[in-house]
């Protein structure tokens, strides 16, 4: 009995190690702070295409997340939604990106009462361009990364280590600091 348990634990550990080893980013480098944000056009949950250039003149919180309806992603989205009025006061919009399709995003928005746009990166191109694609071997997901983009389209802050529970508050604080430093934006 003990040997069976030890064998099962060993198999689970080895399987976990294989999954961790196989999880990797695309190898591209994430766009850096101070560089022009790569433009894109993707469909939102309503099926309509949106481009980054559509938001010139506004701050953009471009956040990548793994999957609709998971605990961390739900918490992060709820916090952005809870703070939506504060973002609007700061002339900022929130755009979420994952590799799931419009239909799944639409269901997630309806279930969680989200009023901001979720973009469907079903071909993984945008996630790859922002070095926010994780290859798990059997599946590819967007990584939990965020890019804070100023009204002229320049990336001002890059978040590659995100705590879903605290992220919206952190982005709001950084946005306030950036706007104080550059009041014309």
Give me the pLDDT at residue 83, please. Answer: 98
Per-residue confidence band for 1, with pLDDT thresholds at 50, 70 and 90:
low
- Whether the CB-CB separation of 115 and 80 falls below 8 Å is answered with no
Q: Is 60 exposed, middle or buried (0-12, 13-18, 19+ CB in 10 A)?
A: buried
Catalytic residue list contains 109: no
As a whole number of angstroms, the distance between CA 45 and CA 101 comes to 8
Give me the pLDDT at residue 11, please. Answer: 44
How would you label 148-177 residue by residue, b for 16+ Cβ within 10 Å and e otherwise?
Answer: bbbbebebbbbbeebebeebbeebbebbee
> Which residue is listed with tokens 């590659």?
160
**pLDDT tens for each residue of 95-123:** 999 999 999 999 999 999 999 999 999 99
Give me the pLDDT at residue 137, please. Answer: 84
Residue 153 has pLDDT above 50, yes or no: yes
pLDDT above 70: percentage of residues in the chain: 83
Out of 37, 73, 114, 149, the active site residue is: 73
Helix (H) or strand (E) run with residue 95 in it: strand 92-98
Give me the pLDDT at residue 182, please. Answer: 78
Average pLDDT, the chain: 87
Residue 138 has pLDDT above 90, yes or no: no
Give me the pLDDT at residue 15, please. Answer: 40
Angle ∠(33,38,40) on CA atoms, nearest 5: 145
**pLDDT tens for each residue of 19-75:** 333 334 444 588 999 999 999 999 999 999 999 999 999 999 999 999 999 999 999
Average pLDDT over residues 127-137: 92
Which structure tokens are listed for 39?
Answer: 């433009």
CB atoms within 10 A of CB 11: 10
Q: Where are the domains of the chain?
A: 25-181
Give me the pLDDT at residue 25, please. Answer: 44
Give me the pLDDT at residue 56, please. Answer: 96
As a whole number of angstroms, the distance between CA 123 and CA 99 comes to 7
Per-residue confidence band for 183, with pLDDT thresholds at 50, 70 and 90:
low
CATH for 25-181 is 3.40.30.10
Residue 136 has pLDDT above 60, yes or no: yes
Which structure tokens are listed for 28?
Answer: 């591209």
């Amino acid at each position: 009995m003990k040997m069976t348990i030890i064998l099962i634990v060993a198999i689970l550990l080895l399987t976990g190690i294989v999954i961790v080893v196989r999880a990797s980013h695309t190898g591209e480098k994430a766009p850096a702070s101070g560089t022009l944000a790569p433009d894109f056009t993707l469909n939102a949950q309503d099926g309509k295409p949106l481009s980054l250039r559509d938001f010139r003149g506004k701050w953009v919180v471009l956040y990548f997340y793994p999957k609709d309806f998971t605990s961390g992603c739900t918490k992060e989205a709820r916090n952005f939604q809870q703070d939506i009025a504060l973002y609007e006061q700061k002339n900022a919009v929130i755009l979420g990106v994952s590799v799931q399709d419009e239909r799944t995003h639409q269901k997630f928005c309806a279930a969680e009462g989200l009023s901001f746009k979720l973009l469907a990166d079903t071909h993984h191109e945008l996630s790859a361009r922002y070095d926010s694609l994780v290859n798990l071997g059997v599946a590819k997901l967007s990584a939990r990364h965020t890019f804070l983009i100023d009204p002229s389209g320049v990336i001002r802050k890059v978040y590659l280590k995100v705590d879903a529970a605290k992220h919206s508050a952190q982005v709001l604080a950084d946005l306030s600091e950036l706007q104080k430093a550059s009041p014309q934006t």
